[in-house]
Structure 1
Amino acid sequence: MLRVKTIIVDDEFGVSLLLGSILSELEGALVVGTAENAIDAMKLVKDKSPSLAFLDIELPDMTGIDLAKNMREIQPDLAIVFVTAHQEYSLDAFKVFASDYILKPIDKERVKTTFAHIQQTLKTLEKDNSITQPPASRISINLGNERVFVKLGEIFYIEKSGRYTVINAVNGKFKTRQTLIELEQYLGPIFFRSHKSYIINTDRIERIVTYPNSSYYEVNFENYKDKALLSRDRIHELMKYSHYNV
């Protein structure tokens, strides 16, 4: 049974206690920490690398919606379940791709069903990732009246821009409706999720520039004027792509 590392974030101790009690009855649920505010929650994500987070919407230092966005910058594939007494935030929850939106008072069976669904999704992804496939050398992009073939090595970066995803490559910029998560499956190990809105080709990086008081780094590429973003929390992961750092 797949073990799902889970955190609970709610400023009401009783709610955290109840959720923890429900999850303790479920096979594979592993609560690795609880928090009452966004600052402590972010620390949990960095330290514990959970796969699932139950979040209250109204926290003392940040909304649960904003917290979810910040968490995803550290862990892009983190599953989010909002638990709240306020129904009016459901549209905002949809925009950050929440797995569920559970209203208080908490329905025990709803929590169990939601957890089982997320656990199954994670299990499927783990199984798919374990299947060895020959690496793709290029992707094709449907542009309506034509299809363009782009070599993976010629892609500088891929950016989420509004309703579209833009592939920045040697031979141009190409828009697609595919999501970053969908594209990641075919890009290979040289590509790195540097930010919630960017995937970068690590072989094309020329330099990383930092600015005082900024939450991001700027990624510059060889022989390319446009730039991507790198979240500060992802810099240490990116350094693993270098054979030697001085």
Structure 2
Amino acid sequence: MDDAPLKILVVDDEPLATERLQLLLARIGGVDLVGTASDGEAACRMAEALSPDLLLLDIAMPGMDGIDVARELSRRADRPAVVFVTAFDQFAVSAFEVEAVDYLVKPVETVRLERALERARAHIERRANATQPTAVAGKHLDEFWASDLTGLVRIRSVDIDRITAERDYMRLHVGPRSWLIHHSMAALEEGLDPGLFVRLHRSAIVRRDYIAGFHRNVSGRWIARLADGSEQPVGRLYADSVRAIAGR
């Protein structure tokens, strides 16, 4: 991250606990409290609407608890970092299974909270850097690093079947699995080996040998049939790619 404030969403079903965190955050520079939520369902809705960088998240809440919230948010491309703030210490193992950055036991002191926020910033920066593919001048991208619940995963370009766009993120499909990276489709098209990959749509790049064939639909639009039996529409701007692959 740069010098932008760390956007924080506080989630706790106890008003006094929420107020204490608000007071502590007011003493700390470089943070922006974007909202508070008193239950898990509201936390998920607000996280989607506000895109916080970090959740200060209670665990023991009625209904959807903090572990459930962290697990739900981990499926999202723009998932925030999570620091658990709880009155109980027996949930630590479960907390780190969902990649919590830190685990604070109430009552939280300012110094301890500051340390957790520093860890959150470092975690967010590492995650952003790890998902940025880089190419050496004159060479093509040959690997990517993506994060998942187990940590960081190395993905070789030659193993990628296809890449699809999901807003500001790209999904790398490898067999039945997939990972999200934060990058642009244009940069990937430029960095990948054009002898191995072809762009078929503004939101799709496919490995050439993963294409099993082409056919036209009722409106005359080209459709690529892929090796797994799925289909990928070909954008009108990329129709020439079909002709080049088919040698026509």
Same fold (TM over 0.5): yes
Pick aligned residue for 1:151 from 139, 158, 161? 158
Q: Does 1:96 align with 2:98?
A: yes
| Structure 1 residues 89 and 129: alpha-carbon distance in aligned structure 2, compared to 1, 3 A threshold | closer
Structure 1 length as normaliser, TM-score?
Answer: 0.59
| Structure 1 residues 90 and 125: alpha-carbon distance in aligned structure 2, compared to 1, 3 A threshold | closer
Structure 2 length as normaliser, TM-score?
Answer: 0.59
Cα deviations by residue, 1:87-137 (Å, 9 ceiling, x for unpaired): 111110010010011111222211111112222443566678899755843
> Quick one: distance in 1 between partners of 2:130 and 2:97?
26
> Quick one: distance in 2 between partners of 1:119 and 1:104?
21
Aligned twin of 2:87: 85
| Structure 1 residues 48 and 93: alpha-carbon distance in aligned structure 2, compared to 1, 3 A threshold | same
> Quick one: distance in 1 between partners of 2:18 and 2:124?
23
Give the secondary-structure state (helix, strand or coil) at the position aligned to 1:224. coil
Verify the 8 A CA contact 2:142 2:157 in the aligned structure 1: yes
Matching residue's letter, 2:120: I
Verify the 8 A CA contact 2:13 2:61 in the aligned structure 1: yes
| Structure 1 residues 3 and 133: alpha-carbon distance in aligned structure 2, compared to 1, 3 A threshold | farther
> Quick one: distance in 2 between partners of 1:41 and 1:114?
20
RMSD: 4.2
Q: Does 1:34 align with 2:36?
A: yes
Aligned twin of 2:4: 2
Matching residue's letter, 1:151: V
Greater radius of gyration (CA): 2
> Quick one: distance in 1 between partners of 2:87 and 2:69?
17
| Structure 1 residues 41 and 137: alpha-carbon distance in aligned structure 2, compared to 1, 3 A threshold | same
Cα deviations by residue, 1:71-95 (Å, 9 ceiling, x for unpaired): 2223454210011111111110010
Verify the 8 A CA contact 2:18 2:36 in the aligned structure 1: yes
> Quick one: distance in 2 between partners of 1:190 and 1:131?
8
Aligned twin of 1:137: 141
1:111-130 matches, cutoff 5 A: 111-123=113-125
Give the secondary-structure state (helix, strand or coil) at the position aligned to 2:74. helix
- Give the gaps of 5 or more residues in structure 1: 141-147, 158-165, 192-200, 206-220, 227-241
Verify the 8 A CA contact 1:137 1:151 in the aligned structure 2: no
Verify the 8 A CA contact 1:2 1:123 in the aligned structure 2: no
Matching residue's letter, 2:161: I
Aligned twin of 1:48: 50
Aligned twin of 2:61: 59
| Structure 1 residues 114 and 15: alpha-carbon distance in aligned structure 2, compared to 1, 3 A threshold | same
User: % of aligned pairs identical?
Assistant: 23
Verify the 8 A CA contact 2:128 2:182 in the aligned structure 1: no
Count residues with an aligned counterpart: 183
> Quick one: distance in 1 between partners of 2:134 and 2:69?
35
- Give the gaps of 5 or more residues in structure 2: 145-154, 164-171, 190-202, 208-224, 238-248
Aligned twin of 2:227: 223
| Structure 1 residues 203 and 167: alpha-carbon distance in aligned structure 2, compared to 1, 3 A threshold | closer
Deviates most, 98-107 or 128-137: 128-137
| Larger RCO: 1 or 2 (CA < 8 Å, sep 6+) | 1
Aligned twin of 1:168: 174
Deviates most, 119-128 or 29-38: 119-128
